[in-house]
A and B are shown apart, each in its own frame.
Chain A
């Protein structure tokens, strides 16, 4: 009974650690996505903006555009698993001042930019979100009506929220993509596409070059800041989990094998009796190994069930997601338990065999 408990414990440990560390990689990969897009598509001749913080050097070159249709077709063809958000940037007039306006689909933004600190609400039709710097410059607050002047028409919009991100978003005004395309007379055109690619197996670089082949008129860039750092981080987490699992398994395993040996050692008398009655070494060995194997199988089964419960508990508390039920871990769990049981009993048995049955029966 005691042995069964110990074996079950060791194999449940193996199962739990195995499940947690194999699902860990996936969970962390999901977490890392919160750092944002890892690929961007821009028109071939375009230049990226100077970057975060709303530093504006004016237009350094003629604007160029991507065709939304082409990009969509290319994405379908490439069969990439990716979340996409389309962006169009252009200047509109607000109170006689040029401001940068970005057209986006707000539902995509909510998924791809989880770090936006939004005061107010996400916009409905006819509403807009204003960057915090722009808002304080233009003295705008939630609920105000802004009137944007395009090339030929005026668009009244209600400010539904103010966004702070610490990045370039702070200096921009956001509105729905189709509305901006209409206002600028640029139907179906984009300046930037952000992609969050789930790199399934092959690296991001490959996905980028595959996409590049399909979009000759565009440039596909890998955002090294998020992409490379995430890859490095994931590798580290994986390695850490591996080491931790190895340490725990080796130590618990040796401990369990030790317990196993103790009980076999104490059964010298029994072995002596068997031998005295004419049992060959081989037969005695078979009997003991059979016992150990049975214990191992039972322990392994119990361990698998118990270990799955532990793994479930851990993933639930930490990632609030349910762990994958991985059937082949039952095999691992059985294997660990069997291996330990046999390992623990074989070593001492060999030394017990050397004993003279007469002496061990007399209790010497």
Chain B
């Protein structure tokens, strides 16, 4: 009997049912899209902010003595505790050289570095490290160097030497000369414009500093500094220190990297690190509030549309009561109806919301999104909860109906 009533109530008024279904599905879609995206968005934004450049600087601890770091320690950066937070790093080796090209002579800085180096670390996924990854604001005319004797020249230096892409220039250090082919000219508006960038190995042999680097720039995902993070680690108790070490503050990641590089000290680059922290915190808060707003709104929309459809069914209920239905049976019919509609709406809404999240993520961040598995049950259950909550009030009113009054009109 219950089944027959339910079946007919769907088949006999398809429009009304469809409208409720639509609003439940839309509500569930918004909920799914927002929940799915809110978790990812802070991560995506953090990655986005990494394009401001490296936030940790590794230097030899004895700067004055002209100390160096060892190139062979570099792969260890990919094995530290915070390795998944480190999005990239680039070593540099600096030296002063005399450049000459086409009869012009200039004194300038030669930097050996990685541009986009394939790095294979045993036990870790292979990765590409270098300037290309951590300094996306470089505007290179031409191409990036690939061969050992190819180089990129800063725009100001190139102008002074009168070299353009495709030309060659000589760099002389203590009587040794290396010929570079200019494959690119870089504009940054910073000190890079005064330098020549060449592959690390070539510069090492030019400067006779085999296996050595002057500094390493590390780009890491970090959490904003809070009061606890600002405390001096030296004054912490053992438990506090552990907590500090296991939170991805820029200082603790720096400490972590410092430990694997022999003879180094790591400094946060505060210009990048502090601005990033506060910006990230604010963006996350906005998303959180918007998510709450969207959820509340879709819940209200769904429950009002349920109420609207229930409110008009007084005569039906009165008739059921008159022919002897008890409260339980009436509730069963209405709750059953709501359950079926909201489950169907939840499933459709989930599929729709998943697509929406994907579209947003693709257009804004150019990357796919993997929606977590728990989202499916959450979407359906939330659709159910909202639907049931929305039908409580009209159901209560329906149960209080006096059949005689209603049927008389």
Contact = CB atoms under 8 A, between A and B. Distances in A.
Interface of A: 2-3, 5-6, 9-10, 13, 16-17, 20, 24, 27-28, 31-32, 34-36, 40, 47-55, 57, 60-61, 113-117, 133, 137, 164-167, 170, 221-229, 232-233, 236-237, 239-240, 243-244, 247-248, 251-252, 254-256, 258-259, 261-263, 265-266, 310, 314, 317-319, 348, 351
B206 to A, nearest CB: 16
A170 B195 CA distance: 22
Given A114-B274, A317-B289, A252 B190 contact: no
Contact of B279 (A32, A137, A256, A348): A32
A109 B124 CA distance: 44
B15 interface: yes
Contact of B282 (A13, A31, A240): A31
Given A165-B271, A229-B137, A262-B19, 16 more contacts: A9-B301, A34-B274, A40-B189, A60-B108, A165-B269, A224-B187, A225-B188, A226-B52, A247-B360, A248-B293, A251-B27, A251-B30, A255-B22, A258-B305, A266-B312, A319-B282
Most buried by A among B108, B214, B275, B311: B275
B285 interface: yes
A17 B309 contact: no
Interface in B14-31: 15-16, 19-20, 22-23, 26-27, 29-30
B373 interface: no
B365 interface: yes
A133 B294 CA distance: 50
B286 A314 contact: yes
B279 A224 contact: no
A35 B275 contact: yes
Nearest to A351: B15
Interface of B: 15-16, 19-20, 22-23, 26-27, 29-30, 33-34, 41, 48-49, 51-53, 56-57, 59, 63-64, 94, 96, 107-109, 135-139, 156, 187-195, 214-215, 267-275, 278-279, 282-283, 285-286, 289-290, 293-294, 297-298, 300-302, 304-305, 307-309, 311-312, 356, 359-360, 363-365
Contacts of A47: 156, 194
B137 A225 contact: yes
Given A229-B51, A317-B285, A262 B301 contact: no
A117 B360 contact: no
A148 to B, nearest CB: 20
A19 to B, nearest CB: 12
Nearest to B311: A2
A229 to B, nearest CB: 5
B190 A224 contact: yes
A196 to B, nearest CB: 12
Nearest to B22: A258
B308 A2 contact: yes
Contact of B298 (A54, A239, A252): A252
Contact of B293 (A16, A51, A60, A227): A16
B353 to A, nearest CB: 9
Nearest to A266: B312
B188 A224 contact: yes
B293 A13 contact: yes
A248 B31 CA distance: 10
B22 A254 contact: yes
Contacts of A314: 286, 289-290, 293
A255 B268 CA distance: 50
B267 A170 contact: yes
9 contacts: A36-B271, A54-B63, A166-B273, A225-B190, A229-B137, A252-B26, A262-B20, A262-B312, A351-B15
Contacts of A32: 275, 279
Given A53-B215, A248-B294, A34 B360 contact: no
A24 B286 CA distance: 9
Nearest to B270: A115
Contacts of B289: 314, 317-318
A296 to B, nearest CB: 16
B297 A13 contact: yes
Contact of B271 (A40, A50, A167, A263): A167
A57 B109 contact: yes
A54 B34 CA distance: 46
A9 B360 contact: no
Contacts of B188: 223-225
Nearest to A24: B286
A244 B297 CA distance: 13
B279 A31 contact: yes
Most A Cβ at <10 Å: residue of B57, B190, B286: B286
A357 to B, nearest CB: 19
Nearest to B366: A236
Contacts of A223: 188-190
Given A32-B279, A266-B312, A233 B363 contact: no
A259 B22 contact: no
A223 B307 CA distance: 58
Contact of B290 (A3, A137, A244): A244
B138 A265 contact: no
B172 to A, nearest CB: 15
B23 A258 contact: yes
Most buried by B among A20, A48, A170, A310: A48
B309 A262 contact: yes
B138 A224 contact: yes
Nearest to B305: A259
A261 B19 contact: yes
Contacts of A53: 57, 59, 215
B53 A225 contact: yes
Contacts of B63: 54, 133
A6 B286 contact: no
B364 A224 contact: no
A260 B321 CA distance: 29
A115 B279 CA distance: 13
Contacts of A258: 19-20, 22-23, 305
Given A166-B269, A254-B23, A50 B294 contact: no
B189 A255 contact: no
Contact of B302 (A61, A114, A255): A255
Given A47-B156, A166-B269, A259-B301, A229 B52 contact: yes
Contacts of B215: 53, 55
A252 B270 contact: no
B354 to A, nearest CB: 13
Contact of A164 (B34, B195, B270, B282): B270
